[in-house]
A and B are shown apart, each in its own frame.
Chain A
């Protein structure tokens, strides 16, 4: 047998005497698909770069460059045992530059794609590790993809290369055979302290320093810093300015939302000293005060995630982050690190929470966009969408955290600024919910190594491959390595339970600078920067300090626990390094090889920023009715089908099934439910403790179309939607916490900021009325994209006002959970909640080209709150067989979805629907109105009386029944409005994203 004998270490093979650069190519064995080539052809055809049927042939392979002390037989052994997969791969091995790697025919065009030096390349890292375990001395490994084209013109190939083969923000493209002597990795760094003279600088010079250093500090902020250093009697060092810039950045300190705002809506004007505190936080404070002893919030707006009570022993945590800009440049890496980052938020909450599930919401431009009409510098929305989904998939699945909830919203205003929201829920023992670093604790970094990743404007020479001295920014975008984060999570939970540290936080934006700065805010710290483990040599002390390399966590470890902590990490091959100490000086002191390179007063750093003062205005728009000719000949059935096919409503099964939504074994209500497991669930239900029947519900609400009419009501309706989705699956409405993510355009413009203030007011009022506290949030502002169009005009696209509300509900007993698919013919269908003529911002308006017209839906918070509570009691009573909330497309779409998900027909007389008192509605309005706080419920006839008695008179009414006929029939008394086949409706709903 070919197996090595067990021993404590692998037998050391005879080492080759010289280091050689080997190339190992793996191509598909005969009978197996050439997947990379197929993907390239599909993508090129999809994007309109190739006409279908073009006579083009592509062959691909992937491979490894291995620099090490191996001879050719040893390399072949490595390829056979490790790199090539049995049966499916054919391996070609040789030295780089070998004749066998040249194109066969003179007309063939060969191109290599390699990750840029410094970009995370997990496969190369793992290959290096595994080859070393076989006993070989390996200096470096890089992966590559290679394509050989024939039958393609140079111009098409160039476009294909740029648009499909490679993303030049992270990859290098090399034409023809590789010409390389060896793999390099970085160059040595020589220490030199940099001071930036600012004390004598005039305003112009200050602004120039900020701009050229990419510090994003305003003039007033620069003047404040100048004043500070004048008082100190010295010039700042580069690392000090960087630290201040990071700490005062929009990203880290929410200077707009937390700033002073003067707001004028034409009726009244109002001044906020801190917009966020006086709207979102204030709502939570009011609710907690009202709840008194029953307050179930534990830690809100303080830690990396919001924390609320769950069981007698556990709290749950929730955070949703945005990762928009990185996803626009490199969709895969941006989404990948977006999810990785929010999982670290969970890990960095309290003494470290355990992730239990994720939610991911995206906004893109239409994937059907004409390729030729894309502005320069913009990736095609379809490519962005596929990359983002793959990025979330690969991080979440590898970490083993189920992705259970999500939504996608399409609008062409997201063309240059796609939105990527990544959320994560965690489980945290009560006694581990708070943390405090202590003086004397060591500052320990765990996990990934530090590189130039994410350093603004960092440039990094792509040493050998481009030959010329092309300087590129490999820093702007990052690729995650989920397994490194999983390894950190594994040891962190063990260290936590053994009490080996006092505090933990994640390294996110700002890297060590933010993590250590925040953790030591009330103490003081000294940091020994040269000790941070680096991915490659050559980083300056400032780069080490502000690097945003992924998968790093910072711990405060008491000196007496350090040995045990380090041993625990070593046992699972996790790198842990003490890089400093918290000391009670109130000062942040940064050292590099014994030199003091920065010294900052914590008080100035965290409280010295001058307040931002902004103006906001809002003017209510008058309601415009639909254009006179809107209903020329369209039937209700046609409108229904158009809405079902609309990308916001259509089935997202293509996405959902790529996510592992069942790992950790807590799945109760899956994102797809029903007879054939393909109906759209309102919310996900997860049971995070294997020995408890208590569950959580995760849902979201978002509708930027409403924001175009009135952001106040958009906010109210989004909260309503998130809450009602939770209630629909059985969550207790008195225990739902929500998160806000405000993504807006350029808020220095008073009109844009005005819409944000208006939305924040809507959040405040609705949350209080619902007693639904905000527990955490995150904003992303200035999402605008500017370009020069073909006629030379500057164009700017601002995203619509985008407010994502994410809800975390709780179910006392998951066996009471309800799904939205119809169950049994003969059961009654009951409409719950009042319908008004609310077509403003509706999907009916959208598909008929009437967006912007119609009356915007308004929540009646006290009535809605009572209704949610009544419905919840009916569900707990066991009287509800299915329940679906009414949202996009109103009752017509909800009934259709329930019917085709359950494989049962439905017959409904809409004349019986409860209407808002005093309103008369047309049949069209009743069918497609998007009034909030409404549900359609399936109730067995034996429970009908009990069910109806739960509600205040007029709030619920029997409108029809589940049938055994495979049709959806919607009538207004004797007039049939819709009579459609369920098979056909489902087909239409699934066709939009029936992607390969």
Chain B
């Protein structure tokens, strides 16, 4: 099998790139980190890769709103090439800030005359929050979540609250199989930020573009779990499965 090539897209303020690349390498990917400036000059370089990942961080400081400036750059320079990824049988992943970027590029849902129908905005607490959450996949074709019925991952964000213009938008997302991941633990909501419908992650209708607020790259070792010392046996690092699924997609 040829190792899938993974592009880790960096920008000013990206800060989860090293561990995200490591997680893909562990799963068998061949990673390359490129700065957005390089891609703006040579957008055709996107064609070298089977997977593009937008890692977590604070792109451009999230100074206007989370992910906004990087999303604009992607829209201006890279959108058409990235939009072709699903039909080319390729994958795009956005984690945390990367999810915020995907939402604001239009790669997950389109703009209409009123602008984007959904966004990721400030947590209802108004504060940044780092904690672990329970997650359950929704009804989608998300490639990254194959074979997963529940998992635990950490969130760490201030602007992770998924909001929509009206109920119709939610219905449409559900109908198209885009609600990929919800905050759920033991059958109950485990919503840390006030997201509508407990939404923690979305995919495009093909399941090949996926964005999520929690950090799968922060649970690739047993000792990252907050209560690993309580368990007799090392907990399985559940974040690994998402990266393994992405790599397995190409085998």
Least CB distance, B143 to chain A, in whole angstroms: 23
B251 at the A interface (CB under 8 A) = no
Q: How far is the CA of A486 from the CA of B110 in the complex (A)?
A: 32
Least CB distance, A92 to chain B, in whole angstroms: 15
Q: Is the CB of A398 within 8 A of B58?
A: yes
Q: Is the CB of B111 within 8 A of A2?
A: yes
Q: Is the CB of A665 within 8 A of B106?
A: no
- Binary interface encoding of chain A residues 710-723 relative to chain B, with 1 for a CB under 8 A from any of its CBs, else 0: 00000000000000
B15 partner, pick from A127, A400, A823, beta carbons under 8 A: A400
Q: Is the CB of A4 within 8 A of B75?
A: yes
- Binary interface encoding of chain A residues 1-24 relative to chain B, with 1 for a CB under 8 A from any of its CBs, else 0: 111111110100000000000000
B27 at the A interface (CB under 8 A) = no
B residues near A815, Cβ cutoff 8 Å: 222-223, 234
Q: How far is the CA of A818 from the CA of B223 in the complex (A)?
A: 11
B87 at the A interface (CB under 8 A) = no
- Binary interface encoding of chain B residues 59-76 relative to chain A, with 1 for a CB under 8 A from any of its CBs, else 0: 011011100110011011
Least CB distance, A770 to chain B, in whole angstroms: 26
A35 partner, pick from B13, B126, B130, B221, beta carbons under 8 A: B126
Once A133-B73, A572-B12 are accepted as A-B contacts, the answer to whether A817 and B217 lie under 8 Å apart by CB is no
Q: Which of B12, B121, B126, B163 counts the most chain A CB atoms within 10 A?
A: B12
Once A4-B75, A6-B80 are accepted as A-B contacts, the answer to whether A687 and B223 lie under 8 Å apart by CB is yes
Q: Is the CB of B65 within 8 A of A665?
A: no
Select from chain A the residue with minimum beta-carbon distance to B81: A6
A979 at the B interface (CB under 8 A) = no
Q: How far is the CA of A572 from the CA of B16 in the complex (A)?
A: 17
B residues near A572, Cβ cutoff 8 Å: 12, 35, 37
Q: How far is the CA of A657 from the CA of B192 in the complex (A)?
A: 12
Of B178-186, B204-212, B224-232, B242-250, the segment with at least 4 beta carbons within 8 Å of chain A is B224-232
B218 partner, pick from A32, A665, A821, beta carbons under 8 A: A665
Once A86-B118, A572-B12 are accepted as A-B contacts, the answer to whether A127 and B63 lie under 8 Å apart by CB is yes
A819 partner, pick from B61, B229, B234, beta carbons under 8 A: B229
A665 partner, pick from B35, B104, B125, B217, beta carbons under 8 A: B217
B86 at the A interface (CB under 8 A) = no
A668 at the B interface (CB under 8 A) = yes
Q: Is the CB of B129 within 8 A of A658?
A: yes
B163 partner, pick from A10, A81, A88, A127, beta carbons under 8 A: A88
Q: How far is the CA of A57 from the CA of B226 in the complex (A)?
A: 43
A914 at the B interface (CB under 8 A) = no
Once A1-B110, A658-B129 are accepted as A-B contacts, the answer to whether A481 and B224 lie under 8 Å apart by CB is no
A residues near B22, Cβ cutoff 8 Å: 665, 690
A571 at the B interface (CB under 8 A) = yes
Q: How far is the CA of A7 from the CA of B79 in the complex (A)?
A: 11
Q: Is the CB of B64 within 8 A of A10?
A: no
B156 at the A interface (CB under 8 A) = yes
CB contacts under 8 Å to B, within A461-486, are: 481-483, 486
B223 partner, pick from A80, A129, A482, A814, beta carbons under 8 A: A814
Q: How far is the CA of A656 from the CA of B127 in the complex (A)?
A: 12
Q: How far is the CA of A88 from the CA of B115 in the complex (A)?
A: 11
Q: How far is the CA of A490 from the CA of B73 in the complex (A)?
A: 20
A residues near B81, Cβ cutoff 8 Å: 6
B38 at the A interface (CB under 8 A) = yes
CB contacts under 8 Å to A, within B1-34, are: 10, 12-16, 18-19, 22
A662 at the B interface (CB under 8 A) = yes
Once A32-B121, A85-B119 are accepted as A-B contacts, the answer to whether A126 and B69 lie under 8 Å apart by CB is yes
Q: Is the CB of B229 within 8 A of A818?
A: yes
- Binary interface encoding of chain B residues 28-65 relative to chain A, with 1 for a CB under 8 A from any of its CBs, else 0: 00000001011001010000000000001110110111
Once A400-B15, A572-B35, A665-B22 are accepted as A-B contacts, the answer to whether A82 and B72 lie under 8 Å apart by CB is yes
B residues near A398, Cβ cutoff 8 Å: 13, 15, 58, 61
B227 partner, pick from A6, A657, A673, beta carbons under 8 A: A673
A residues near B111, Cβ cutoff 8 Å: 1-2
Q: Is the CB of A571 within 8 A of B19?
A: no
A residues near B230, Cβ cutoff 8 Å: 674-675, 819, 821, 823, 902
A residues near B63, Cβ cutoff 8 Å: 122-123, 125-127, 483
Once A35-B122, A83-B64, A572-B37 are accepted as A-B contacts, the answer to whether A662 and B229 lie under 8 Å apart by CB is no
A664 at the B interface (CB under 8 A) = yes
A residues near B116, Cβ cutoff 8 Å: 86-87
Q: Is the CB of B69 within 8 A of A129?
A: yes
- Give the size category of B's interface with A: 35 or more
B132 partner, pick from A32, A487, A677, A882, beta carbons under 8 A: A677
Select from chain B the residue with minimum beta-carbon distance to A83: B64
B78 at the A interface (CB under 8 A) = yes
Q: Which of A33, A690, A821 counts the most chain B CB atoms within 10 A?
A: A690
CB contacts under 8 Å to B, within A25-54, are: 32-33, 35, 38-39
Q: Is the CB of B75 within 8 A of A670?
A: no
Once A39-B126, A83-B64, A573-B37 are accepted as A-B contacts, the answer to whether A668 and B224 lie under 8 Å apart by CB is yes
- Binary interface encoding of chain A residues 638-682 relative to chain B, with 1 for a CB under 8 A from any of its CBs, else 0: 000000000000000000111111111101111011110100000
A residues near B80, Cβ cutoff 8 Å: 3, 5-6
Q: How far is the CA of A814 from the CA of B122 in the complex (A)?
A: 36
- Binary interface encoding of chain A residues 741-761 relative to chain B, with 1 for a CB under 8 A from any of its CBs, else 0: 000000000000000000000
A residues near B125, Cβ cutoff 8 Å: 996
B residues near A10, Cβ cutoff 8 Å: 76
A residues near B75, Cβ cutoff 8 Å: 3-4
A664 partner, pick from B14, B18, B77, beta carbons under 8 A: B18
A397 at the B interface (CB under 8 A) = yes
Q: How far is the CA of A397 from the CA of B130 in the complex (A)?
A: 10
Q: How far is the CA of A3 from the CA of B130 in the complex (A)?
A: 34
Q: How far is the CA of A8 from the CA of B42 in the complex (A)?
A: 8
CB contacts under 8 Å to B, within A881-908, are: 882, 902
Once A6-B43, A573-B37 are accepted as A-B contacts, the answer to whether A662 and B215 lie under 8 Å apart by CB is yes
A residues near B94, Cβ cutoff 8 Å: none
A393 at the B interface (CB under 8 A) = yes
B41 partner, pick from A8, A33, A80, A397, beta carbons under 8 A: A8
A696 at the B interface (CB under 8 A) = no
Q: How far is the CA of A672 from the CA of B229 in the complex (A)?
A: 12
Q: Is the CB of B37 within 8 A of A571?
A: yes
A201 at the B interface (CB under 8 A) = no
Q: Is the CB of A86 within 8 A of B154?
A: no
A316 at the B interface (CB under 8 A) = no
Least CB distance, B128 to chain A, in whole angstroms: 5
B residues near A818, Cβ cutoff 8 Å: 229
B residues near A300, Cβ cutoff 8 Å: none
Once A85-B65, A818-B229, A819-B229 are accepted as A-B contacts, the answer to whether A399 and B121 lie under 8 Å apart by CB is no
B residues near A291, Cβ cutoff 8 Å: none
B164 at the A interface (CB under 8 A) = yes
Q: Is the CB of B220 within 8 A of A660?
A: no
Q: Is the CB of B223 within 8 A of A481?
A: no
A residues near B154, Cβ cutoff 8 Å: 662
Q: A662-B156, A673-B229, A814-B223 are in contact. List 18 more A-B contacts (CB 8 A).
A: A1-B111, A3-B75, A3-B79, A3-B106, A7-B77, A125-B63, A126-B64, A126-B69, A127-B64, A130-B69, A133-B73, A400-B15, A486-B15, A663-B156, A664-B15, A673-B226, A677-B131, A882-B229
Residues of B with Cβ closer than 8 Å to A?
10, 12-16, 18-19, 22, 35, 37-38, 41, 43, 56-58, 60-61, 63-65, 68-69, 72-73, 75-81, 104, 106, 110-111, 115-119, 121-122, 124-132, 154, 156, 163-165, 215, 217-218, 220-224, 226-227, 229-230, 234
A sample of 26 inter-chain contacts (CB < 8 A) reads A1-B106, A4-B75, A6-B81, A35-B126, A39-B126, A82-B72, A87-B164, A88-B119, A122-B63, A125-B63, A126-B69, A129-B60, A400-B16, A482-B58, A483-B58, A483-B60, A483-B61, A657-B129, A660-B130, A662-B130, A667-B223, A668-B223, A670-B226, A690-B18, A815-B223, A819-B230
Pairs A-B, 10 closest by C-beta atoms: A400-B15, A126-B63, A665-B19, A86-B116, A483-B61, A85-B65, A819-B229, A123-B63, A660-B156, A483-B13
